[in-house]
Amino acid sequence: MTRSRVSYKLLLFAAVATLSSCQDRGFIAPPPQALGATLNTTTSEQHPRLSYSGRYLVFASDRHSTRGIFVYDLQRRKLVPLPKLNQAGKFQDQPDISADGRYIVYRSEESGKSDIWVYDRQTTQRENITKNILGDVRHPTIGGNGRFIAFEINRSGQWDIEIYDRGIGVDLSLPPEPPAPSP
C-alpha cells in the first residue's frame, strides 16, 4: 500500500468516526407533529423568545390557519392557554416575553393597521399601546421586568426606535428568586 493510500484510508476512517459520533446533544424540542398541544407542528413556527429562566418560550405560528401567538412551558412540555390573546381572523406576530413569562408583547393588525399590544397572562387583559400613533410599527421587545417596551416605528419613510414606558404603577415581572442555599 502506498503512503498516500494509507493516508486516504486514515482520513476516511476519521471522517466516518466523527460523523457517527455526532449526536443532537442538548436539543429538547420534539419533532414536528400533527396539530395539538406540542411545540412544533407541520405549520410555520417563527420568532421564538425565551423568558429569563428559560421556562417559557413564546413564538408565532400558523397552526390555526392564521398567524397567532403561543407559549410553550418547557417544564411541563405543553402549550399554555392564552385566553383573549389571539383574535379570530386577525394577524398576531413578532412576540416577546418578560422575565417571568407574565407579559407578552406582540404586533397585531386588529384595527386595520399594525399596532403593538401587551398581554398580561395573569389577568388575561390586552392593551394596545400604539393605537394613537400614526405610522407602521414592528419588532416589539419587552424589558425583563415588563415596564419598558421598545419597537421599530416608521412615521415618514425611515425606521426609528421608540421606547414606551408603561409607568411606575405596573406590576413588575421579575424572575423567581433562586432557592436559598442549604445549611
CATH number at residue 86: 2.120.10.30
- Determine the structural domain holding residue 114 and report its residue range: 45-165
| More reliable by pLDDT, 29 or 116 | 116
**Domain membership flag for residue 9:** no
**Domain membership flag for residue 19:** no
CA–CA gap between residue 109 and residue 40 (Å, rounded): 24
**Domain membership flag for residue 88:** yes
Mean pLDDT of the chain: 81
Which one-letter DSSP state was computed for residue 2?
-
CA–CA gap between residue 89 and residue 108 (Å, rounded): 11
pLDDT confidence tier of residue 70, bands split at 50, 70 and 90: very high
- In the chain, beta strands by DSSP E: 45-50, 56-61, 68-73, 78-80, 92-97, 103-108, 115-120, 125-128, 136-142, 148-154, 159-165
How many domains does the chain fold into?
1
**Domain membership flag for residue 11:** no
pLDDT confidence tier of residue 25, bands split at 50, 70 and 90: low
**Domain membership flag for residue 12:** no
* pLDDT attached to residue 42: 67
**Domain membership flag for residue 83:** yes
**Domain membership flag for residue 126:** yes
**Percent of the chain residues past pLDDT 90, beyond the cut:** 47
